[in-house]
Amino acid sequence: MAVPEDTVREVIERLFAAWNGHNLEAFLDCFEPSYESRWPLAPDLDFGGRESVRRRWGANFADLPDFRADLLALSVQDGEAWVELRWRGTRVDGSRFAYQGVIIYGIVGARIASGRLYLQPLRETTGP
C-alpha cells in the first residue's frame, strides 16, 4: 500500500529540519534501520544501514559546522519523494562544500527506506 502524500511530505520536512538544525538524532529518526543508499552514477559510494548514516552524517556535521540543505523542488508519487536539493557549507579546513542534484527517496511508513542519489559538486562561477 502506497504511503499517503502528506506523510511523505512530512518525512521530507523533518529530514530538512534535522539537516539544517544539525540534529543527528532527529535526522536518524527519518531513516529505517535497513536504509539502502544507492548512487547509480558512482556505485562505489553505495552503503546500507542507519548506523552507516550515523557515521557519515555525524562526520559531515562535525566537518561542516555551517552545513545547509536547501529544498529546491519536491514531487511525491506512489510513496516516493523526488527531491531536488542543494547542499552547501564550509569545511573546518576552510574549503567550500557545494553539491546539487536529485535524490529519489522511497518511503515506508513514516521513514526513508531507500535513496537513489544523483548529486554532483557545484562549480564555482565568477561571471554573470
Structural domains counted in the chain: 1
Q: CATH number of the domain that 70 lies in? A: 3.10.450.50
Domain that holds residue 35: 5-121
pLDDT in tens, 52-101: 999 999 999 999 999 999 999 999 998 999 999 999 999 999 999 999 99
pLDDT, tens only, 8-60: 999 999 999 999 999 999 999 999 999 999 999 999 999 999 999 999 999 99
> 10 Å Cβ neighbour count for 3?
20
Residue 127 covered by a domain: no
Question: How does DSSP assign the chain, residue by residue?
Answer: -PPPHHHHHHHHHHHHHHHHHT-HHHHHTTEEEEEEEE-TT-GGG-EESHHHHHHHHHHHHHH-TT-EEEEEEEEEETTEEEEEEEEEEE-TTS-EEEEEEEEEEEEETTEEEEEEEEEEEPPP----
Q: Is residue 31 part of a domain?
A: yes
Give the pLDDT confidence score for residue 45 in this predicted structure.
Answer: 95
pLDDT for residue 125? 61
Q: Does residue 126 lie in a domain region?
A: no
In a domain, 128, yes or no: no
For residue 123, the model assigns a pLDDT of 85
- Tell me: pLDDT of 126 over 80: no
